[in-house]
């Protein structure tokens, strides 16, 4: 068995110019993992394009059509200026979802132990019918819904350690007890998108299945990991997840230009190790991680390497 690594040149065709979320992010990861030799230890997978009915598990047809049309017409942006769209955006976005769905199927079917998906555009800000924060389709949320519908998992844990709150993922599951959405992120009073306060805990039967852990600017590895170990992991152990999905954003890194946490790649290694242990304890190891943010190219490449090393060993 092995760790799968999903990536595909189609993601480079989502052309955002010199926007922070650009194709050089994946080029930097690829170059670094080739140079370090780590790619040779991974099971390389090209993924595939998702079907529209899979995207429609969580996004409206009208919204999906609006992405396709804006891409075809070369509109420049979709809805908000931070969601740059190019002719290649729709194909890349469909394929990003497809790669994640293929990876969860392979893990669920015991073909691989776990997987990391180096995909873009990212997804955790995408809402049911709106693009937000560089995101168009909510990759991780569609994977969770797909796993519930097709494999019957009832206790899916999505842990989102991107420095920004995953508003889209929270909103898509805040009324459900079948998915626990947990997020650590920079204090929303000081950081985009301004949601993710600790009092946001879900609604109806989903009450208690949304967990938000805002962190003050300047949070270091030691402080993060102490909090993670003492306050977060025990709640995950109580939940006993049967499948774990990671919204892996590395923009909490101290070198990241978009936020103000002081984490290093060592922190991402430790988080991943602990999440892997949790997956082994409760979910027969089933864990899939997918790329969200991370905008300093060197910090991103080092963080992804540290993350994958913990998935592998």
Nearer to Zn ion, 196 or 249 (CB): 249
| Interface with Zn ion (CB under 5 A), residue from 47, 202, 249, 252 | 249
Least separation in angstroms between CB 24 and Zn ion: 17
Give dist(CA 113, CA 230) in Å, integer.
27
User: Does residue 221 belong to the site contacting Zn ion (CB under 5 A)?
Assistant: no
Binding to Zn ion (CB under 5 A) within 83-142 occurs at none
CB of 162 or CB of 174, closer to Zn ion: 162
- Smallest distance, Å, CB 292 to Zn ion? 6
Question: Cβ closer to Zn ion: 7 or 186?
Answer: 186
In whole angstroms, how close is the CB of 122 to Zn ion at the nearest point?
A: 7
The Cα 253–Cα 299 span in angstroms is 7
Nearer to Zn ion, 47 or 249 (CB): 249
Report the chain's terminal Cα–Cα distance, integer Å. Answer: 12
d(CA 83, CA 127): 13
Residues in 266-295 that interact with Zn ion by CB under 5 A: 293
Is residue 14 among the annotated active site residues?
no
Instruction: Kindly state the number of chain residues that form the binding site for Zn ion, as judged by CB under 5 A.
Output: 5
User: In the chain, how many H helices and how many E strands?
Assistant: 10, 10
40 CB-contact burial (10 Å; exposed 0-12 / middle 13-18 / buried 19+): exposed
Distance CA 44, CA 64 (A): 29
Q: What are phi and psi of 113, to 5 degrees?
A: -70, -50
- Residue 256 sits in the site that holds Zn ion (CB under 5 A): no
| Least distance between Zn ion and beta carbon 132 (Å) | 11
Tokens of 98: 């497809």
CB of residue 166 vs Zn ion: minimum separation in angstroms? Answer: 9
244: tokens are 């774990």
Q: Residue 128 corresponds to which tokens in the numbers above?
A: 């049911």
Does the footprint of Zn ion cover residue 162 (CB under 5 A)?
yes
Listed as own residue / partner, the contacts of 12-18 with beta carbons closer than 8 Å and 24 or more positions apart are 13/86, 13/87, 13/88, 13/89, 13/91, 13/92, 14/86, 14/88, 14/89, 14/92, 14/93, 14/120, 14/121, 15/86, 15/87, 15/88, 15/89, 16/84, 16/86, 16/134, 17/84
Query: Counting contacts by CB under 5 A, is residue 166 touching Zn ion?
Result: no
Q: Which stretch binds Zn ion (CB under 5 A): 15-23, 159-167, 228-236, 305-313?
A: 159-167
Q: Which of 14, 95, 124, 125 is catalytic?
A: 125
Beta strands in 175-281 (DSSP E): 179-186, 210-215, 243-248
**Please, what is the minimum distance in Å from the beta carbon of residue 162 to Zn ion?**
4
Q: With contacts defined by CB under 5 A, name the span among 26-34, 105-113, 157-165, 239-247 that binds Zn ion.
A: 157-165
Nearer to Zn ion, 45 or 164 (CB): 164
**Which residue, judged by CB position, is nearest to Zn ion in the bound state?**
293
Residue 251 interacts with Zn ion (CB under 5 A)? yes
Active site residues: 125
| Contact set with Zn ion (CB under 5 A) | 162, 164, 249, 251, 293
């Amino acid at each position: 068995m092995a760790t799968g690594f999903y990536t595909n040149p189609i993601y480079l065709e989502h052309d955002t110019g010199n926007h922070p979320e650009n194709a050089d992010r994946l080029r930097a990861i690829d170059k670094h993992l080739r140079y370090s030799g780590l790619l040779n230890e991974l099971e390389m997978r090209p993924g595939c394009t998702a079907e529209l009915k899979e995207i429609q598990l969580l996004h409206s047809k009208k919204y999906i059509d609006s992405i396709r049309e804006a891409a075809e017409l070369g509109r420049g942006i979709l809805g908000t200026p931070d969601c740059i769209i190019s002719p290649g955006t729709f194909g890349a976005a469909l394929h990003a979802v497809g790669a994640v769905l293929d990876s969860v199927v392979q893990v669920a079917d015991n073909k691989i132990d776990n997987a990391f998906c180096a995909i873009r555009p990212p997804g955790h800000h995408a809402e049911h019918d709106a693009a937000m924060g560089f995101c168009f389709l909510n990759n991780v949320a569609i994977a969770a819904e797909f796993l519930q519908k097709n494999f019957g998992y009832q206790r899916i844990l999505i842990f989102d350690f991107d420095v920004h709150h995953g508003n889209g993922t929270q909103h898509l599951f805040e009324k459900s007890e079948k998915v626990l959405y947990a997020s650590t992120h920079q204090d929303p009073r000081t950081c985009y998108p301004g949601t993710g306060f600790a009092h946001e805990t879900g609604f109806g039967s989903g009450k208690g299945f949304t967990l938000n852990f805002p962190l003050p600017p300047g949070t270091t590895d030691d402080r993060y990991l102490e909090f993670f170990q003492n306050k977060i992991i025990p709640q995950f152990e109580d939940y006993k997840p049967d499948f774990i999905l990671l919204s892996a954003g590395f923009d909490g890194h101290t070198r990241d230009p978009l936020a103000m946490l002081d984490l290093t790649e060592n922190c991402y290694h430790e988080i991943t190790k602990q999440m892997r242990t949790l997956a082994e304890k409760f979910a027969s190891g089933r864990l899939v991680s997918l790329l969200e943010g991370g905008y300093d190219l060197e910090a991103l490449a080092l963080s992804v390497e540290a993350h994958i090393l913990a998935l592998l060993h």
